[in-house]
Copies of this chain bind each other. A is one copy, B any other.
Amino acid sequence: MTQEITFIQREQLKAKPDPASLGFGKYFTDYMFVMDYHTDNGWHNARIVPYGPLTLDPSSMVFHYGQAIFEGMKAYKTPDGEVQLFRPDKNMKRLNDSCDRLCIPQIDGEFLLKAIKQLVTVEKDWVPEGAGQSLYIRPFIYASEAGLGVHPAHQYTLLVIMSPSGAYYGDQLNPVNIYVEEHYVRAVLGGVGHVKTSGNYAASLKAQEKAEANGYAQILWLDAKENKYVEEVGSMNIFFKINGEVVTPKLNGSILPGVTRDSVIQILKHWGEPVREERISIEEVFAAYERGELEEVFGAGTAAVISPVGELTWNGKTIVINDRKIGQTSQRLYDGITGIQLGKLEDPFNWTVKVSAVEV
């Protein structure tokens, strides 16, 4: 798959949006990367083309049978004006894990990363520089074959689109209120919860809507078998600091293995802070609160990086965490991870990858 990447220039560049009102995933850059797949000739026709509409037959399988996966990653501008990615190899790996589970042909991760670097290089003026801002990168693949038979498609389209974005929950670290969902579930062992496929998000909307209607920002999902063990929060993994130790649910086949989750674990170990991955029940979390040992709760994900939790409501009972203030560990992790992402702190893990060296 070491193919050439065609570049089709657009006649006129878009006006850039006001940096103060970026929001998340609302504006898109001038170009996108596209590549096609057909069982007859594999992935082919790699190209960077003007961002614009897609044309699909109404019977295209993505509309009917949801064979669609995606990744989420970001490009950051460093203080010296360079642009860099954060652990993009993890996204390429997970994209292929998603492909495997959804019967989508594998991608050459190195080639796609090269394509992403080229695209980001072309669009380097779109990488915003404000606090908490970055260029959000969304690779995705969908089944483009026309026809209503239920089977893995023979034809796919891969795209990478990019959106200059602000912080997911606004520009400040603001502790959020979270509702522990007991009726709806997100995923179950043997299903698709451990990969980034579109159906997981569709299935989560109903509970999310209910939570928001009741004043909560996010849902905490419990396991589907016993409605007992903590899995993850809306679009993030979840961490609890209990009696000086950080604990997060162990990857169990239904939890998404987040890149930020892994980074939190590694950075805590690097700092010599105790951190454990294990099965943890919601009862244990509430019991720790009762003992006065629940010091912090926070989510971790690409979009929000670190998101402190101020309140947790389960089974009619609400507990207030750390007096609704940002915890010391949450803040230190946010500063540490974003510091590395933005090139403001040393990167002892070799997590960042410069894109500016790539020729177009």
Which A residues are within 8 Å of any B CB, using their own CB?
A: 23-26, 28, 32, 51-59, 62-68, 70, 101-103, 136, 138, 140, 142, 147-152, 159, 161, 163, 183-185, 187-192, 197-206, 208-209, 224-225, 227, 234-235
Contacts and interface: CB of A to CB of B under 8 A. Distances in A.
Contacts of A142: 63
B66 A201 contact: yes
Contacts of A54: 55-58
Given A63-B140, A198-B64, A206-B102, A55 B58 contact: no
A254 B197 CA distance: 20
Contacts of A234: 150
A63 B197 CA distance: 10
Contact of A203 (B24, B56, B192): B192
**Assembly of this chain: how many copies?**
2
Given A58-B53, A66-B66, A150 B198 contact: no
A210 to B, nearest CB: 10
Given A150-B235, A224-B190, A64 B56 contact: no
29 contacts: A24-B149, A25-B59, A25-B147, A25-B149, A26-B148, A52-B58, A53-B56, A58-B159, A63-B68, A64-B140, A64-B198, A65-B198, A65-B202, A66-B201, A66-B203, A67-B201, A67-B202, A102-B205, A102-B206, A103-B205, A138-B148, A151-B205, A152-B205, A184-B191, A188-B225, A189-B224, A198-B198, A198-B199, A199-B202
Given A63-B70, A66-B68, A189-B224, 5 more contacts: A63-B142, A63-B198, A65-B198, A66-B66, A150-B234
A205 B156 CA distance: 15
A66 B151 CA distance: 17
A190 to B, nearest CB: 4
B103 A66 contact: no
Contact of A59 (B28, B59, B66, B209): B28
Nearest to A183: B190
B70 A58 contact: no
B188 A184 contact: no
A59 to B, nearest CB: 6
